[in-house]
Chain A
Amino acid sequence: MSATETRPETAMQAERAVTIFERGRPGRRAFVPPRLDVPERDGAELLPTHLRRAEPARLPEVSEPELVRHYVRLSRRNFDLDSGFYPLGSCTMKHNPRLHERVAALPGHARLHPLQNPRHAQGALEVMFNLERALGEIAGLPHVCLQPSAGSHGELAGVLLTRAYHESRGETRTKVLAPDTAHGTNPATVTMAGLEVVKVGTNPDGGVDLDDLRAKADSDVACLMLTNPNTLGLFDPNIEEIARIVHDVGATVYYDGANLNAVMGISRPGDMGFDIVHFNLHKSFTQPHGGGGPGSGPIAVSERIAPFLPTPLVVRRDDGTFDLDYDRPQSIGRLRGFQGNYGCFVRAYAYICSLGADGLRDASETAVLNANYLLARLQREGVAELLPLAYGNGRCMHEFVLSGAPMKKELGIKTLDLAKRLLDHGVHPPTVYFPLLVDEALLIEPTETETKETLDAFADTVAEILREAREDPELVRNAPYSTPVRRLDEAAAAKQPVIRQPL
């Protein structure tokens, strides 16, 4: 008998999932409409029957108390950053200050219509202008557009900008280079922009393979997309040479800003030779992740790319007032409605105001310190031989990658099993199975807002799980036990998809 079958069901597990639709009963309601204060008219006269839907949408019928209880109970079935350590690599799960929620909710921000005349939205435009200035300074690239809705949207903007730049010079370039360590969004973006991805290899030190880059950089290349530090958590010391090789063939260099949290105020992408950068305000600048959004993905570019930036852009007129500029003939156009995710701009701007130059630098330094310390703690006896550092000389930037390959070989425990057992210890697991070039990868990013005690506890927990696995591998292989549900059948979900409640 396995360890699992002897465990009693927890209270949360005993509470079976019931949807809001299943809770409803005909006639219950939470909403009471305002009274009809205009003359009553024949509905069929205002909207003829042939334009009307046959039946109302079968929405839930619940009272307010039920509505509140349902969603509060659902919330308890989530793990969150305010409850515990969340070292999800490449996602920068740093503390989300509540001040930001308060200032974003001020009616002057929250109830401002996006099409309000700019004369009557001067405060909002000033927030955007100041945020653009700050981001431009941090990136070392002065021309900023806040419009993209998330990192991948910023990437798409970047590749379209590159296209527009080459087209303006009468060139058609079809290829984009991206290292095999790149985030999945990079190659997906390239395809969406109608270009072709060419993979560049990684050298034994974890950086770009320069010979491979030289061999692939030719006049068909539009752009190189790079993260630096990369997804192995390593700063590529050859970055200037990389930029030179790419620039020499007339292509641009694009910086995926997902890992900016390692270098704020320490080193700037613009100074490294990058032409286009995207930021993730929901990573480096602590916009809450919301369970998968909202995000915000502003871009910063160099002088030669600036004419092509999306419209509209915030400008400061000669009289000191702020305005939106639509008169930009070379622009690639709009990427979305209105001006972008302004609520995220307010939060990111508040963060930058709180930290200032010194605070941002301190954030990056502490993020790197915390990552290196956690790495050192995890490279002690009992752990290092099963979970070695995948690349590098024993140091990292703000995150690092361990390989679970020896653990799998020695103990028959996969990275996935370790991750699931961490759930029983009240910790969110690191990113697993990414980057792809590391076998059984664990990508760990602690961020600067965690204490030394938290990092120690995490290292102790990993060591403890490995001890457990040596004694009773089944215990780890069948984890988790204490979560609201246990391991879920993802294959069955994909085979016969049930993606809505049958009614």
Chain B
Amino acid sequence: MTRYTTTTDDDRREMLAAIGVSSLDELFAAIPDNLRFGRSLDLRAGLSELEVFAHLRDLAARNVSAEDELTFLGAGMYDHYVPAVIDMLMERSEFLTPYTPYQPEISQGGLQVMFEYQTAISELTGLPASNASVYEGPSAVAAAGYLAKLVNGRRRFVVSRGLHPHSRETLRTLSHGYGTDVTEVPLLGGVTDPQAWAEALDDEVSAVFLSHPNFLGAVEDLEPLIAAAKAHGALVVCSCDPIPLGILRTPGELGVDVAVGEGQTLGNRLDFGGPSFGFFAAAPEHLRRMPGRIAGETTDVDGRRGFVLTLQTREQHIRREKATSNICTAQALNALAGVVYLSWLGREGLVELAELLLARTAYARDTLAALPGVRRLHDRPVVREFALGLPVENLQAVERVIERCQAEGVNPGYALGRDYEEFQEGLLVAITERRSRSDIDRLAEVLSRALAAETSGSAEPAVAAGART
């Protein structure tokens, strides 16, 4: 008996007798003897609750989290503030512990949350058809690719290099399976090169993939790129950052067919990369090819308003090999955090938050680009993140500069050279509402010192003070 099982010796005797066997072993008679595991699993012996807590706390203390350093690291996940109401609601048993709402009569809470979530995502993206969530951002991009393949059966994807590197890689992995080639279009001046874009397009293109804003933080002029793709009959997929969408032109206004994105910033923790959620919204003609759960409104036998999982004939448990996706468990709890967060911000709050990011990001960009030798990698408008070129030779030097800053308790951002051969000297800096003007000033001071040390060739950086081992 463990602390999570409750069968006493007496229970066991009675239960075996009721079954009509004399030992537990008889219940496993179907397993051939040579397949019975002859020893004990090579794992540590079980621990008490307080020992497990202490062990996991010790491991947590060996990480340098956003609690331990002043961080400007973004590149797909961002250190936004998560309001207290979200913790409270996500911990409620009624949201935390049920399964997918297959029995709608006793799942109205969860189903209505999905319906409200779909409404909020639809408002955010300007597209009418949202599902109830997919896993996360990059796999949502790949799921949009699969929808395009189902729509037109064409064999090529054209992808801007402004799309998150993880999204491009994920799309490649999955499209190799269903037989689609991926062509990448380079960036020019921080945005998708329009001429290379036009040259990459033809009538065999199933879908194109853009990012809003792009990985370098740039808000691109998407309309001509979208028009060019539509002229060839390609579907347009746009990966969006949801908080900037509070003020940016919506995918709906831009004529995008499928808007997807990473939902972490909407009330979810960093969690070293997950769980978060991916959102997936589309133009109405694609509704019946969408992946994942969709909640719909209906009435009960007495005429009361209620909600159900709908259009289930798209799904794997009904349609099997003809399903529009294999997705089953998605991210319902994280999507709940998403809709609570958007309701917490509200109509005006989302705009105010995005405007605050816009102003602080502009300040940070101007301040850092004024440091000796530092330049902007592009001059496009930015909302929450921007790319700088540091006055150093290569990726390794950028990583040393980052390490020097971390030794002073500041994480200045992401080394772009990790994913972009063409931006070896690049640093991507992210701003959230948690980073004040004085934080930005401190970053400038620390980065300036780190650059001076790096360019004067002084000793290797020390290990960050925040790393408590």
Name the B residues within 8 Å of A370 (CB-CB): 7, 15
Cβ distance B331 to chain A, nearest Cβ, rounded Å:
4
Would you call B326 and A156 a contact (CB within 8 A)?
yes
A457 interface residue per 8 A CB criterion: no
Cβ distance B279 to chain A, nearest Cβ, rounded Å:
13
A265: which of B41, B44, B49, B307 is its contact (CB, 8 Å)?
A: B41
Would you call B112 and A83 a contact (CB within 8 A)?
no
Would you call A192 and B178 a contact (CB within 8 A)?
yes
Q: Looking across the interface, which residue of chain B has its beta carbon closest to that of A436? A: B320
Would you call A334 and B271 a contact (CB within 8 A)?
no
Docked pose: A293 CA to B98 CA in angstroms: 9
Cβ distance B105 to chain A, nearest Cβ, rounded Å:
4
Name the B residues within 8 Å of A140 (CB-CB): 37
B112: which of A74, A377, A493 is its contact (CB, 8 Å)?
A: A74
Q: Looking across the interface, which residue of chain A has its beta carbon closest to that of B35? A: A267
Q: Using known A-B contacts A152-B328, A190-B321, A341-B274, determine if residue A356 contacts B103 with beta carbons closer than 8 Å.
A: no
Name the B residues within 8 Å of A113 (CB-CB): 65-66, 71, 73, 77, 79, 270, 272, 411
Render B33-55 as a binary contact track against A, CB cut-off 8 A, 1 for contact: 01111001111111101011101
Q: Would you list which residues of chain B between 77 and 124 have a CB under 8 Å from chain A? A: 77, 79, 83, 85, 87-89, 91-110, 112-113, 115-116, 118-120, 122-124
Render A478-503 as a binary contact track against B, CB cut-off 8 A, 1 for contact: 10100111111110111001111101
Would you call A343 and B330 a contact (CB within 8 A)?
no
Cβ distance A72 to chain B, nearest Cβ, rounded Å:
7
Name the B residues within 8 Å of A499 (CB-CB): 115, 118, 129-130, 287, 294-297, 310
Q: Would you list which residues of chain B between 291 and 340 have a CB under 8 Å from chain A? A: 293-302, 304-308, 310-313, 315-323, 325-334, 336, 339-340
A169 interface residue per 8 A CB criterion: no
A240: which of B35, B99, B355 is its contact (CB, 8 Å)?
A: B35
- Interface-centre pick from B57, B119, B133 (highest chain A CB count, 10 A): B119
A149 interface residue per 8 A CB criterion: yes
Q: Looking across the interface, which residue of chain B has its beta carbon closest to that of A429? A: B103
A275 interface residue per 8 A CB criterion: no
Name the A residues within 8 Å of B27 (CB-CB): 368-369, 372, 395, 397
Render B388-422 as a binary contact track against A, CB cut-off 8 A, 1 for contact: 00000000000000110010000100100000000
A124 interface residue per 8 A CB criterion: yes
Q: Using known A-B contacts A234-B30, A365-B24, determine if residue A335 contacts B344 with beta carbons closer than 8 Å.
A: no
Docked pose: A191 CA to B297 CA in angstroms: 31
Q: Looking across the interface, which residue of chain A has its beta carbon closest to that of B362? A: A46
Q: Looking across the interface, which residue of chain B has its beta carbon closest to that of A343? A: B271
Would you call A38 and B437 a contact (CB within 8 A)?
yes
Q: Would you list which residues of chain A between 13 and 58 have a CB under 8 Å from chain B? A: 13, 16-17, 19-21, 24, 28-31, 33-34, 36-41, 43, 46-48, 50-54, 56-58
B436 interface residue per 8 A CB criterion: yes
Name the B residues within 8 Å of A295 (CB-CB): 329
The contact size tier of chain B is: 35 or more
Cβ distance B104 to chain A, nearest Cβ, rounded Å:
5
A390 interface residue per 8 A CB criterion: no
B46: which of A54, A354, A366 is its contact (CB, 8 Å)?
A: A354
Would you call B274 and A72 a contact (CB within 8 A)?
no
Would you call B63 and A188 a contact (CB within 8 A)?
no
Which one of A86-94, A210-218, A407-415, A464-472 is at the B interface? Answer: A86-94
Cβ distance A187 to chain B, nearest Cβ, rounded Å:
4
Render A45-80 as a binary contact track against B, CB cut-off 8 A, 1 for contact: 011101111101111111010011001101111111
Docked pose: A292 CA to B109 CA in angstroms: 13
Q: Looking across the interface, which residue of chain A has its beta carbon closest to that of B173? A: A333
Render B119-155 as a binary contact track against A, CB cut-off 8 A, 1 for contact: 1101110101110110111110000001000000000
Would you call B356 and A78 a contact (CB within 8 A)?
no
B208 interface residue per 8 A CB criterion: no
Name the A residues within 8 Å of B104 (CB-CB): 485, 488, 490
B65: which of A33, A41, A102, A108 is its contact (CB, 8 Å)?
A: A108
Tally of A interface residues using CB under 8 Å: 209
A120: which of B323, B327, B467 is its contact (CB, 8 Å)?
A: B467
Render B333-373 as a binary contact track against A, CB cut-off 8 A, 1 for contact: 11010011011111111111101101110110000000000
Cβ distance B374 to chain A, nearest Cβ, rounded Å:
19
Q: Would you list which residues of chain A between 261 and 291 have a CB under 8 Å from chain B? A: 263-268, 271-272, 280, 282, 288-291
Cβ distance A61 to chain B, nearest Cβ, rounded Å:
5
B169 interface residue per 8 A CB criterion: yes
Docked pose: A127 CA to B272 CA in angstroms: 12
Cβ distance A175 to chain B, nearest Cβ, rounded Å:
12
- Interface-centre pick from B107, B353, B381 (highest chain A CB count, 10 A): B107
Docked pose: A123 CA to B57 CA in angstroms: 9
Q: Using known A-B contacts A43-B358, A369-B27, determine if residue A80 contacts B93 with beta carbons closer than 8 Å.
A: yes
B64 interface residue per 8 A CB criterion: yes
Would you call B273 and A337 a contact (CB within 8 A)?
yes
Would you call A67 and B85 a contact (CB within 8 A)?
yes
Would you call A107 and B60 a contact (CB within 8 A)?
yes
B253 interface residue per 8 A CB criterion: yes
Name the B residues within 8 Å of A189 (CB-CB): 326
Docked pose: A84 CA to B88 CA in angstroms: 21
Would you call A59 and B343 a contact (CB within 8 A)?
yes
A434 interface residue per 8 A CB criterion: yes
Name the B residues within 8 Å of A271 (CB-CB): 35, 37
A153 interface residue per 8 A CB criterion: yes
Name the B residues within 8 Å of A105 (CB-CB): 87
Q: Would you list which residues of chain A between 394 and 440 have a CB under 8 Å from chain B? A: 395, 397, 419-420, 423, 428-429, 431, 434
Docked pose: A356 CA to B89 CA in angstroms: 31
Q: Looking across the interface, which residue of chain B has its beta carbon closest to that of A448? A: B5
B164 interface residue per 8 A CB criterion: yes
- Interface-centre pick from B63, B64, B164 (highest chain A CB count, 10 A): B63
A3 interface residue per 8 A CB criterion: no
A382 interface residue per 8 A CB criterion: no
Name the A residues within 8 Å of B122 (CB-CB): 500
Cβ distance B311 to chain A, nearest Cβ, rounded Å:
6
B6 interface residue per 8 A CB criterion: yes
Cβ distance A474 to chain B, nearest Cβ, rounded Å:
13
Name the A residues within 8 Å of B186 (CB-CB): none
Name the A residues within 8 Å of B302 (CB-CB): 9, 13, 486
Q: Looking across the interface, which residue of chain A has its beta carbon closest to that of B146? A: A192
Would you call B7 and A103 a contact (CB within 8 A)?
no
Would you call A357 and B61 a contact (CB within 8 A)?
no
A96 interface residue per 8 A CB criterion: yes
Docked pose: A148 CA to B377 CA in angstroms: 34
Which one of B229-237, B241-249, B451-459 is at the A interface? Answer: B241-249
Docked pose: A344 CA to B98 CA in angstroms: 16
Would you call B271 and A121 a contact (CB within 8 A)?
no
A126 interface residue per 8 A CB criterion: yes
Docked pose: A344 CA to B276 CA in angstroms: 11
Would you call B41 and A293 a contact (CB within 8 A)?
no
Q: Looking across the interface, which residue of chain B has its beta carbon closest to that of A237? A: B30
A29: which of B83, B339, B346 is its contact (CB, 8 Å)?
A: B346
Instruction: Add 7 more A-B contacts to A38-B360, A293-B330 (CB < 8 A).
Output: A56-B350, A107-B66, A155-B326, A239-B32, A342-B274, A360-B43, A376-B18
25 contacts across the A-B interface (CB closer than 8 A)? A33-B349, A43-B358, A46-B359, A57-B350, A59-B346, A82-B93, A103-B56, A108-B67, A111-B65, A117-B406, A121-B63, A149-B275, A150-B135, A192-B325, A266-B31, A292-B330, A334-B166, A335-B139, A337-B167, A362-B5, A372-B19, A434-B317, A449-B5, A450-B6, A488-B308
8 A-B pairs closest in CB distance: A108-B60, A338-B273, A290-B333, A114-B273, A356-B46, A294-B275, A123-B62, A292-B332
